[in-house]
Amino acid sequence: MATSNGASPSPVGDAKKRYTPGVLKYAQMGYWNPDYVPAPTDILAMFRITPQEGVDAIEAAAAVAGESSTATWTVVWTDRLTACDVYRAKAYQVDAVPGTGPGTTTEQQYFAYIAYDLDLFEPGSIANLTASIIGNVFGFKAIKALRLEDMHIPVAYLKTFQGPATGIIVERERLDKFGRPLLGATTKPKLGLSGRNYGRVVYEALKGGLDFVKDDENINSQPFMHWRDRYLYCMEAVNRASAATGEVKGHYLNVTAGTMEEMYERAEFAHSLGSVIIMIDLVIGYTAIQSMAKWARNHDMILHLHRAGNSTYSRQKNHGMNFRVICKWMRMAGVDHLHAGTVVGKLEGDPNMIRGFYDTLRETETKENLERGLFFDQPWASLNKVMPVASGGIHAGQMHQLLHHLGEDVVLQFGGGTIGHPEGIQAGATANRVALEAMILARNEGRDYLAEGPEILDAAARWCSPLKAALELWKDVSFNYESTDTPDFVATPTAS
Amino acid sequence: MRITQGTFSFLADLTNEQIARQVQYVLAQKWAIGIEYTDDPHPRNTYWEMFGLPLFDVHDAASIVIEIERCRATFPNHYIRVSALDATRGTESVKLSFIVNRPAKEPGFRLVRTEVEGRGIRYSVESYAVNANSEGSRY
C-alpha cells in the first residue's frame, strides 16, 4: 500500500525523453516501481525516511534507492551503455510509519522498501554491501533523517560468506557445556590493573564457577599493562582454574590493535598459549572483522565481538541503523559472540526489540515479525549461529528474568555482579553459577520459574551463603528507564 | 575437589526423583538419552564409554532411571553422566549433560607447566587418579 503526501511522478517510459540531458526526479528516472515484485535473489532493505519539508515520500524513497545504487543528480547518457534497468535499485513500497505525523509528537516518517539486484554486490564483502546501502545516501540533502531498519539477505548472497567461525553448537561441544547459559564477567576496573593483578581477577572468577572472563573493549596495550603481559597472566589463570575445576575455561583476549598486522600478531600469541577464544571490537571495521573471522576458523578459535561504538548510530530511532542489521552483518562477517542486550540491565533495550536481535543471531530461519522489528523472512542458509552476550548491570537476583527473556543459548556476563560481591570474586562467581543451575533445574522440572524465581533463588541461598549475600546486596537494583529504540507495531489482543 | 563438569555440578548431587524429572524434560523435547561412564574425567576427554547405545526408543523416565541404576551398580566408583541428544537440523548435538554418579574421593588435577622460550609456558592438565592407577582401578 503506497502512501504519499502529494502526487508522485511515474517513470518516464519513452527512452528519448528519459535520456534528454537535464534533471529528472528520481521517481521519473525509474527508481520507484510500485509494481516491482522482488526476485528471490534480490537484496532487500527497509529504510525509515523523514523527508525534508515539501519532499514527496515516494520521491524521497526513490532518491534513497537511486543514491544507494546507480544514480547521480542528473541524467547521464552512459546509462544507455548498460542494462541499467537491472542495476537500478527499485523502491517498491512506501508506508507511513504508525504513530508519526499529524496528531502525534513525531514528525511524519515513512518506511520505504527497496530491492537491489544481486549483481550490484561483490560476493563475500560486507564492506562492499555497506558502501552501497549506507554509503553516500545518509548524507543526502532531500532527506532530513534516514535509518536503515532491516534487510533481507538472499540465500544466494549468504552462501558467499563464511559465517561464524565456530558457532553456538561447536562452541558448546568444545567447551563441553550444555543445557544452560554460559557465565562470564568483564574484569573490573577495566583500566589500570597490572597484568599480575588482572590475572588474579580472572583466576578467582573462573575458579568460583564462571566459564569465561573478558577483557573490556578498551583494554588493548596500555602503559599500565602491555598486551603480552596480560595474555601470559590470563592464561596462567585460565589453566590454573581449569585444573582446579576439571572444566574447560576461557578468557576473551582482546586482540584489537591499530593495524591488522598487530592484531594477527596478538591472535597468534593467544593461540600459542592455548587460549580457546579471542576478542575484537566492532570499531576495527567490517573488513578487519571478516579477516579475523577467517583467521579464527583456521585456528580453532572462538571469536568474540564487543559492539563498541554501535550506539553512536543504532540508538536513536530516526537516524542511523537498527542494531538488528548489525546482527545480520556480523553473522555474515563471521563472529561467534555478539553483545545484544540484557533487557533488565543498565544498557538500552526494549524486550521485543532484543528478542528480534537474539532470534536473528540464533535461529536457522526468522519469519517476519513486526512486533520484534523483523520486517522480512530471513532463512540463514546453514550459516552457524552466533551466541548473544548479555552484559551490563545484571546480577544473580534477576536469574529467572534473564532466563525468561534471553533463553539458554546466551552468555550472561556479571562483571560488577561477580567482582563486587562482599565475600570476594570467587564467592560472587559461585553465587551466579548456583543461581543459574538452580533456575535451569527448576525450569526443566516444569515449574513456573518466572513467577517462582525469587522463591527458587531463596531456597538455593539457604544452603549457598555466597548466593544469600548476593541476593541481599543487590535485591533492590533495577534499571527502569524508557527505551529509545522501541517497536513501531504492538500486538493487538485478539478476541478469543 | 569436586569436578564441576555438567549442567548441575554446583548443586547437591541429584536424587533419583530429581534425575527422573530432568529425564522427563528431555523426553518431552523428543531428545534421546545417552548414559556414559569414565574414570578419566579430563576436561578434554570427550569420549566417555557408552553404557549401551543411546536409548532412542525408551520413552518413560522410570525405565531410564533403572538403566542409570544399572550403570551405577556396574561402575559404582566411576563418573557417570546423562546426556540429551537432539537430532534437530541445525543442532544435531548435545542439549543437556549432567553427572549422576561420581567417586567418593576426587583427587583432581595437576597443572603441568612446561617452560618454553621467553616467559612462555605450555600448559597441560593431568589427573592424579589417572597417573596413579590403570584404567578400571583409579577410584
pLDDT tens profile B47-71: 999 999 999 999 999 999 999 999 9
Q: Which residues in chain B touch residue A272, judged by CB atoms under 8 angstroms apart?
A: 120
Same-domain check for residues A331 and A358: yes
Whether B94 sits inside 8 A of A247 (CB atoms) is no
Q: Which three cell numbers stand for residue A285?
A: 571495521
Q: Which residues in chain B touch residue A209, judged by CB atoms under 8 angstroms apart?
A: 4, 10
pLDDT at A303: 98
Same-domain check for residues A186 and A74: no
Q: Which residues in chain B touch residue A244, judged by CB atoms under 8 angstroms apart?
A: 1, 108-109
Boundary residue ending a domain (A131, A158, A185): A158
Whether A274 sits inside 8 A of B122 (CB atoms) is yes
Same-domain check for residues A122 and A188: no
Same-domain check for residues A437 and A393: yes
Please name which of A181, A242, A102, A207 lies closest in space to residue A388, comparing C-alpha atoms: A181
Whether B94 sits inside 8 A of A236 (CB atoms) is no
For residues A304 and A340, the answer to whether their CB atoms sit within 8 Å is no
Specify if A5 maps to a domain. Answer: no
Domains of chain B: 16-105 (3.30.190.10)
**Chain A interface includes B93 (CB < 8 A):** yes
pLDDT at A482: 72
ipTM of the complex: 0.97
Among A214, A306, A317, A337, the one annotated catalytic: A306
Same-domain check for residues A177 and A305: yes
Query: Cα A281 to the chain's mean position, in Å?
Result: 12
Same-domain check for residues A407 and A300: yes
The average confidence (pLDDT) of chain A is: 93
Number of helices and strands (H, E) in chain B? 3, 6
- As a whole number, mean pLDDT of residues A322-345 equals 94
Q: Which of B1, B5, B11 to mutate to test the interface with A (most CBs of A within 10 A)?
A: B11
For A125, the domain range is 15-158
Same-domain check for residues A341 and A405: yes
**Strand duo A143-152 + A43-51: pairing:** antiparallel
Q: Which of A273, A382, A444 to mutate to test the interface with B (most CBs of B within 10 A)?
A: A444
Active site residue A306: yes
Whether B43 sits inside 8 A of A247 (CB atoms) is yes
Same-domain check for residues A240 and A137: no
**Chain A interface includes B47 (CB < 8 A):** no
Same-domain check for residues A336 and A408: yes
Whether A209 sits inside 8 A of B4 (CB atoms) is yes
Q: What is the pLDDT of residues A245-276, one digit of tens each?
A: 999 999 999 999 999 999 999 999 999 999 99
DSSP lists the bridge partners of residue A185 as A213
Whether B93 sits inside 8 A of A173 (CB atoms) is yes
pLDDT at A10: 81
Closest partner residue to A232 among B5, B96, B119, by Cβ?
A: B119
Specify if A80 maps to a domain. Answer: yes
Please name which of A190, A241, A186 lies closest in space to residue A219, comparing C-alpha atoms: A190
**Strand duo A143-152 + B49-50: pairing:** unpaired
**Chain A interface includes B43 (CB < 8 A):** yes
- As a whole number, mean pLDDT of residues A393-406 equals 94
More confident residue, A38 or A348: A38
Rounded Cα distance between A468 and A460, Å, is: 8
CATH at residue A20: 3.30.70.150
Specify if A494 maps to a domain. Answer: no
CB atoms within 10 A of CB B136: 10
Closest partner residue to B10 among A209, A444, A445, by Cβ?
A: A209
Specify if A1 maps to a domain. Answer: no
Q: Which residues in chain A touch residue B5, judged by CB atoms under 8 angstroms apart?
A: 176, 246-247
Same-domain check for residues A146 and A271: no
Whether A243 sits inside 8 A of B96 (CB atoms) is no
Specify if A239 maps to a domain. Answer: yes
Nearest C-alpha of chain B: how many angstroms from A249?
Answer: 9
Per mean pLDDT, which of A2-16, A64-78, A398-412 is the most reliable? A398-412
pLDDT at A2: 44
Nearest C-alpha of chain B: how many angstroms from A42?
Answer: 25
Rounded Cα distance between A469 and A195, Å, is: 29
Specify if A452 maps to a domain. Answer: yes
Closest partner residue to B44 among A248, A433, A441, by Cβ?
A: A248
Q: Which residues in chain A touch residue B89, judged by CB atoms under 8 angstroms apart?
A: 364
Indicate the burial class of B40 (C-beta count within 10 angstroms; 0-12, 13-18, 19 or more): middle
More confident residue, A22 or B98: B98
% of chain A with per-residue pLDDT over 90: 84
Among A144, A177, A188, A346, the one annotated catalytic: A188
- As a whole number, mean pLDDT of residues A282-291 equals 98
Residue of chain B minimizing CA distance to A172: B94
Specify if A7 maps to a domain. Answer: no
Whether A440 sits inside 8 A of B7 (CB atoms) is yes
Of the pLDDT bands very low, low, confident and very high (cuts 50, 70, 90), residue A3 is very low
DSSP lists the bridge partners of residue A148 as A47, A321
Q: Which amino acid is at A59?
A: E
Same-domain check for residues A132 and A182: no
Active site residue A188: yes
Residue A219 has pLDDT above 70, yes or no: yes
CATH at residue A373: 3.20.20.110
Q: What is the pLDDT of residues A302-318, one digit of tens each?
A: 999 999 999 899 989 99
Whether A239 sits inside 8 A of B22 (CB atoms) is no
Specify if A84 maps to a domain. Answer: yes
Of the pLDDT bands very low, low, confident and very high (cuts 50, 70, 90), residue B10 is very high
Boundary residue ending a domain (A140, A158, A176): A158
Residue A411 phi/psi, 5° resolution?
-100, 120
Same-domain check for residues A263 and A223: yes
Whether A243 sits inside 8 A of B108 (CB atoms) is yes
Number of structural domains chain A divides into: 2
Residue of chain B minimizing CA distance to A446: B25
**Of A90-94, A460-464, A480-484, the least confident:** A480-484
